[in-house]
């Protein structure tokens, strides 16, 4: 399956069923979370994918305008964070309607931390995991 087109999407994790969310106060270097909506999806769940080369994308929250990124010193289990700079991610096919979101230049991909305390979960950058917690769906907003 080809990568998604540029545009606005709800980003949902396959394992948890949680959506990437913005609270409008996304400050630089704080963690990006997933949560289960209380009702219908609203602007807090809409993310813009801006296409770079091939399967490369910039991801930002429409609600706050903050960019999604990674810390400068990425390690196993680093948290996906809000940034003022643009970070490049690769969105790769992981099966019908599923994608892995990988940090460009690193073999680290988004992983929904299903062990985190509810109602929020933290997105981590992990390697070596291939289960549903690292598979994401893009639903047109």
**Number of domains forming the structure of the chain:** 1
Residue 109 lies in a domain: yes
Residue 2 lies in a domain: no
Residue 126 lies in a domain: yes
Residue 92 lies in a domain: yes
Distance CA 133, CA 141 (A): 22
Residue 1 lies in a domain: no
Question: CB neighbours of 44 closer than 8 A, spacing ≥ 6?
Answer: 21, 22, 23, 24, 63
For residue 96, the surrounding DSSP H or E stretch is: none
CATH code for position 96: 2.80.10.50
Residue by residue, pLDDT tens for the chain (141 residues) are 788 999 999 999 999 899 999 988 898 999 999 999 989 999 999 999 999 988 899 999 999 999 999 998 898 889 999 999 999 999 999 999 999 999 998 889 999 876 666 667 889 999 866 678 899 999 999
Give the range of the structural domain holding residue 19, as residue numbers without chain letter: 7-140
Q: Could you tell me if 104 and 92 are in contact, meaning their C-beta atoms sit under 8 angstroms apart?
A: no
């Amino acid at each position: 399956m080809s990568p998604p087109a540029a545009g606005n999407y709800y980003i949902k994790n396959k394992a948890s069923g949680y959506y990437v969310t913005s609270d409008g106060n996304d400050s630089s270097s704080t963690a990006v979370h997933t949560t289960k909506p209380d009702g219908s999806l609203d602007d807090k769940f809409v993310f813009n994918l801006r296409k770079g080369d091939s399967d490369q994308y910039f991801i930002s929250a429409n609600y706050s305008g903050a960019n999604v990124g990674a810390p400068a010193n990425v390690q196993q289990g680093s948290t996906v964070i809000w940034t003022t700079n643009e970070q490049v991610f690769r969105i790769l096919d992981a099966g019908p309607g599923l994608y892995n979101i990988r940090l460009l230049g690193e073999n680290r991909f988004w992983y929904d931390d299903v062990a985190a305390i509810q109602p929020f979960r933290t997105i981590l950058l992990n390697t070596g995991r291939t289960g549903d917690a690292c598979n994401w769906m893009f639903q047109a907003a």
